[in-house]
Amino acid sequence: MIENNHEIIPGAGPFYYEGNSIGLLLIHGGGGGTCADLKLLAEDLNKIKGFTINVPLLPGFGTSPKNLRNTPISAWKNALEREIYDLKNKCSRIIVGGHSMGGLLALILAGQYSFDAVFTISSPVGIQRFLFKLVPFFKLFIKYHSINSDTFRDDTNGAWVGYDKIPLNIATKVKKLMNEMKKSLNKVKCPAVLFQGCLDSEITKESMDYIYENISSSKKRKIWLKNNQHPILNSPDHPQIVSELVNFINEICI
């Protein structure tokens, strides 16, 4: 598949599952992965409740690290706004959610649009890794950072699809999104459900609590995932995530 003159890695997405009038927009994270991270979640939500599910591939992802390095945050927002417009033309109820960086984007959008609900999984208000703080220095000398792509593929039986290296400036973009998200939280008034793994060593421990305390939603819920680290693909708590989302959406929309 070719998108915007860039060839998409097989299996990277995007994915769309036709269903009922309740539409979910699922936004993947920014750590080098793709829509493949959310494919199982999307499939199960579609099979169990018949929701219409859209999992767009953000510009710069699933193509080449160089393309990602040159892609601005505005391109992600513009692409998601188009996806929201399209989904609203098909569905009467709209729910937006995301994993990690995708959750930041979901919350920013929820502060701007009137959604029926928003949800986040492992979305940060801060990053634990010390090297994250040194990125502004290192990016003066190196452009990319290798990631454990082989390990990700082995741990997921080949289901993980993404880059072998990511541009260092992705950290700067995530930091900007975290700051924007914090400023948007008081504008989030729709029902919200938040998830965070108890074993997540990537994001700061207080991330979910901070988001929960600062959104203006009258109906909100936070759920700790006892066995989950940061990745969402092949999560040991996957059945719980699906069950909690289905129950929450049933309360709001059905």
All domains of the chain in start order, with CATH: 2-253 (3.40.50.1820)
2 pLDDT more than 80: no
Q: Give the mean pLDDT of 97-119.
A: 98
Residue 164 contacts by C-beta under 8 Å, 6 or more apart in sequence?
146, 147, 149
Specify the higher pLDDT residue, 238 or 149: 238
Amino acid at 230: H
Residue 214: other Cβ atoms inside 10 A: 16
Reported pTM: 0.94
More confidently predicted of 132 and 203: 203
Backbone phi and psi for residue 119, each to the nearest 5 degrees, phi listed first = -140, 150
Cα(250)–Cα(46) distance, integer angstroms = 14
pLDDT score at 150: 84
Confidence of residue 1 (pLDDT cuts 50, 70, 90): low
Residues whose CB is less than 8 angstroms from the CB of residue 94 and which lie 6 or more positions away in sequence, other chains included: 23, 25, 84, 87, 88, 115, 116
Least confident of 95-109, 119-133, 181-195: 119-133
Pair 170, 68: CB distance under 8 Å: yes
pLDDT the model gives residue 136: 57
pLDDT at 84 over 60: yes
CA 27 vs. chain centroid, Å, equals 4
**Burial profile 113-126: b = 16 or more Cβ within 10 angstroms, e = fewer:** eebbbbbbbbbbbe
Residue 177 has pLDDT above 80, yes or no: yes
pLDDT digits (tens, 9 = 90+) for 182-230: 999 999 999 999 999 999 999 999 999 999 999 999 999 999 999 999 9
The percentage of the chain sitting over the pLDDT mark of 70, rounded to a whole number, equals 93
